[in-house]
Structure 1
Amino acid sequence: MGEEATCDLSCAGRPGPLLRREPAPQAVPVCAFPPRGYEAARNTGPYSSSGLATAGFRSARYSPDEWHQNNHARFSEASAHCDGSERARRASRQLAAEAEARARRTQADATKQLGERLQDLHFWKAELQREIEELTGETALLLAQKLRLEKALDALDLPYSIAMDNLQCRERRRPPDLVRDGAEIQLLKEAELIRNVQELLKRTLMQAVNQIQLNRDQKQTCEMDWSDKIEAYNIDETCGHYNNQSTVIQSYPHSSKLEDSASHPDSWAKFSHDNIHRAERERTASASLRSLIDSVLHDTAEDVHMQFDAVNQALALRCEEVEDAKHKLEHNLHMTLTEIGSQENTISSLKQAIKDKETPLKVAQTRLYQRSQRPNVELCKDEAQLSLVHEVEELTQSIGALKQKLLEAEQALRSLEDTRMSLEKEIDTKSHSLFIDRQQCLAHRSRYPDILKLAGYR
């Protein structure tokens, strides 16, 4: 307002003395003063003055009422602020106490929930550990059965090679002993049985290998779950020991945000329950497979050993039959040799008899020849002539008969020689067959594994 007065005097064209400027009043809230009833520019209103010389002093002053109103407003404002501050302090103390109680209560509840969580973790951890131990033991038992299967398979190689060797040896029999007898039929059955048993054991072994892998996979799943439970248990146990006096606590503003991949308590329990259930299922399947393996090994070992006995009995019976036939052949050979000797003596006797008849025949023939030289009427058919003719005829017939008998005897001797050779060859064949069955087949079969080895125990 002083600047405005100076401006007014300058505009009037009347230079006057320099006026003392008053400091500008401090700003007063609008609500502290009553509204003015004049306009400073126009200097009008109920408080205006008509003197122009005091215009600057009048414009910068307030009335006493305004001064009292301002003080009253200050007092009221201070009292209101004090009351508000007191209410705020009481509310703050109450809020702080409630927050403290709530913090203690929620911390106690969280500690309690951590304790309950530790119990749940301990329960599932113990169940998983028990299942892991049982599954480990079951897998070890199944591995033992797998080893038995492998030993049984290895043990079957020798019986199969023995059976095939017996069949190949008996292929070297000579006719007519090269027959499809009972021993060969039993050997073929044995070879077929061993091949079938080997295929069965191989399939069972593959099942055991697959089941062992399933057991190990499920054991690994349970171990991973158990390991997670151990880690979570250690974390929750550490969290349970934290309190307000702990020195390692820090501020993690974003830790209260739940992860999208976080599980629900129901799904968390179901996860471990399903793992244990699958482990129990695999363990049950493993136990059933062990029982099946034991039954298969027992039955196959008995079947193979029974067939082994059947082959041995068939070979022994065949050897007895061949031995009996050989004895009979040797007896016939002895008879044939005896007959050959007798026949040779007979032939010698016949030859001697023929030789003995030749001289008398020559004598008679010479007589007849000499008497045929008689002259004229002396050439008479007298009794002597007739007797000589009869003698020649008789001797000729005798010699013819003896020669015929000699031919028959020589033919019989040749037949006996052929029979002897055939019998000797047959006896040699029987001896060869007996050598194959006894010295090769039965002797080789003495290396046959026993029933315990066939069952995979050794």
Structure 2
Amino acid sequence: MTTNNDQYSCPHICPTERGHEKETKQQETAALTKTENVHATPYVPGMINPPTPILYPPGAPPKYLPQPTDSTSGDILGMGPIGPWASGHLDWSPQAGMTGVRPVVDKYSITRYSTGEWRKNNKFTLTPRATDKAKDLEVQTKKDIANTFINMDKKHNDSNKTLNSRIKDLSYWKEQVQLAVEGITEELRNLDENRERLKGACRILMLPEAISRECLELRTGRYEPDLVRDDAEQELIKEVAIVGEIRRVFTDTLAKAEAQIEMNKAAKTAIEFDWSDKLISLKLDKLNSTLTPQSNLILAHPGVTRWPENATSIEYWNHYCSESIRNCEEVRRRSEGLRRDLMTTIIKGSRDMKTQADRTNAALAETIDATEQMCEKLEDNLKQNLQKTADIENLIHHLKESLRNIQDRNKCVMTRLHGRNYDRPNVENCRDEAQYALMAEAKFIKESSESLQHKLRQAEVVRSELMKYRGELEKDIACKRKSLNIDKDRCARVRAHMPSPEEFAAG
């Protein structure tokens, strides 16, 4: 029964112990049999032949060089019944150097090489291989050197052509990038100027707002009858509201301009870095295109014949060049659009302010005109009132004089009646016509006095009403003059400083 190692081993390559013992026994048996066969023929006297001359074919090389009759096997020697031969098979084949193939060494000789090998070694020794090799090497080396320098010149010219082509590409993209840099720089400067204009417009916007609020504050100083929400008041309130809306739009636009300026600066920085890189590369390639093996600036730089870690492909380089310019141009176009919107906002905002200011001025002028007409009418009424008051006072004075005259007449009638009633004696105290006439006169005087007293009271009432109306007229005239002073003088003086659209646009 075999072991585990036996089932994975080859008996021909890795024989086991029993297989090795069997092979050894077979070799020993073969050797004994051969020995017996060699020495089986006994020595016979007189059987030694004379020397046989060695015949060489015509045209054969010298004796010391390999001959066509040479053999690599030692069997041609022939084993005789006598001789100091070492036992074994002689073999001078290419495998003769392997262990177990050469004959064993006995006490008489060491048979290491055959005659053929000796002749072959002579030929090898006599062959001038080093000299021929040196000649061949010299010729081939000179030819290779010439071809090498020719090829190196071709490669150098090819490198110069590619460098010149690369210089053209770099010059083209450098010009394009430089144009983009100039464009974004100009746009950044223009946008910054417009931003300053917008800031100036925001500062100027404080003036119309202050004017509008000042006018509203001044109009609160009007007297009671003129504290109305007229068209001028409405337009002033609209003006303040429009100022607030314009300020909001200006502030939003200014914030957008600030953000766009930051984007412009970032784009300018990126494109300037690209321009700087291309300028450095262009200078380097121009220097490289002028270098020759005879230049004084060339040095040995070991380890440079390799791709850098940060090297990019030419496709990515072309894509990056076009993309960097496209990104810069896109930012510049967006900035131009914002700049146009910014100026449009300033111009339209200033126009709206001017239009609203004109509306407010027109409303104020209308209010002032109406107030002036009202004030003139009130002054006319006041003059009429004063004249009428003077007439009523004259009338009252006349009524009083008339009543005093009537009182004198009443006293006269009463004196007559008193004398006739109490001074006539007896029957003389009769109801004669004179008595009736005096009674009628006394009655008429009394009625007339009462009528005039009523008229006097009415005149007094009318005079008090005229006096009251006079006070109202004077108060209303003062109110109107106050309003005219506010609207026509103070508000007009303040609103004369209202900025124009040109001032807004100039910042």
TM exceeding 0.5: yes
Q: 1:198 to 1:251 in 2, by over 3 A?
A: closer
Letter in 2 for 1:294: M
Q: 1:104 aligned to 2:141? A: no
Farther-moved stretch of structure 1 (273-282 vs 80-89): 80-89
Q: How many residues align?
A: 412
Return the match for 1:114 from 150, 163, 167.
Answer: 163
Equivalent residue for 2:474? 424
Q: 1:76 aligned to 2:109? A: no
1:215-226 equivalences in 2 (<5 Å): 215-226=264-275
Equivalent residue for 1:344? 393
Q: 1:245 to 1:346 in 2, by over 3 A?
A: same
Q: 1:153 to 1:107 in 2, by over 3 A?
A: same
Return the match for 2:407 from 348, 358, 362.
Answer: 358
Q: 1:387 aligned to 2:437? A: yes
2: CA distance, partners of 1:342 / 1:111: 123
Return the match for 2:504 from 421, 446, 454.
Answer: 454
Q: 1:47 to 1:396 in 2, by over 3 A?
A: same
Return the match for 1:46 from 67, 83, 91.
Answer: 83
Q: 1:164 to 1:75 in 2, by over 3 A?
A: same
Letter in 2 for 1:199: R
Q: 1:179 to 1:45 in 2, by over 3 A?
A: farther
Aligned-residue offset at 1:159: 1.4
Return the match for 2:189 from 140, 143, 148.
Answer: 140
Equivalent residue for 1:328? 377
Task: Identify the structure with the greater helix proportion.
Answer: 1
Could you tell me which runs of 5 or more consecutive residues in structure 2 were left unpaired when the two chains were aligned: 1-71, 76-80, 86-106
Aligned-residue offset at 1:302: 2.3
Farther-moved stretch of structure 1 (417-426 vs 359-368): 359-368
2: CA distance, partners of 1:79 / 1:96: 28
Aligned-residue offset at 1:197: 1.9
CA deviation profile, 1:84-128 (whole Å, cap 9, x unmatched): 665555555555444444433333322322222222111111111
Equivalent residue for 2:177? 128
Return the match for 2:241 from 192, 196, 200.
Answer: 192
CA deviation profile, 1:150-199 (whole Å, cap 9, x unmatched): 22222222111111111111121112211122222222222222222222
- Answer 1 or 2: higher relative contact order, Cα 8 Å, separation at least 6: 1
Work out the percentage of aligned pairs sharing the same amino acid.
29
1: CA distance, partners of 2:444 / 2:237: 71
Q: 1:433 aligned to 2:483? A: yes
Equivalent residue for 1:414? 464
Equivalent residue for 1:205? 254
Q: 1:244 aligned to 2:281? A: no
CA deviation profile, 1:287-320 (whole Å, cap 9, x unmatched): 2233323333332222222222222222122111
Aligned-residue offset at 1:424: 0.8
Aligned-residue offset at 1:201: 2.1
Farther-moved stretch of structure 1 (379-388 vs 271-280): 379-388
Aligned-residue offset at 1:77: 4.0
2: CA distance, partners of 1:415 / 1:61: 175
Equivalent residue for 2:28? none
Instruction: Tell me the C-alpha RMSD between the 2 structures.
Output: 3.1
Equivalent residue for 1:278? 327
Letter in 1 for 2:360: V
2: CA distance, partners of 1:245 / 1:379: 178
Partner-residue secondary structure (3-state), 2:226:
coil
CA deviation profile, 1:376-403 (whole Å, cap 9, x unmatched): 6555434343333323222211111111
Equivalent residue for 1:158? 207
Farther-moved stretch of structure 1 (143-152 vs 329-338): 143-152
1: CA distance, partners of 2:120 / 2:413: 209
Could you tell me which runs of 5 or more consecutive residues in structure 1 were left unpaired when the two chains were aligned: 1-33, 38-43, 49-56
Partner-residue secondary structure (3-state), 1:176:
helix
Q: Is the 8 A contact 2:84 2:108 kept in 1?
A: no
TM-score (norm 2): 0.73
TM-score (norm 1): 0.80
Aligned-residue offset at 1:265: 0.2
Aligned-residue offset at 1:141: 2.0
1: CA distance, partners of 2:272 / 2:111: 92
1: CA distance, partners of 2:345 / 2:484: 37
CA deviation profile, 1:310-346 (whole Å, cap 9, x unmatched): 2222212211111111111111111111111110111
Q: 1:451 to 1:46 in 2, by over 3 A?
A: same
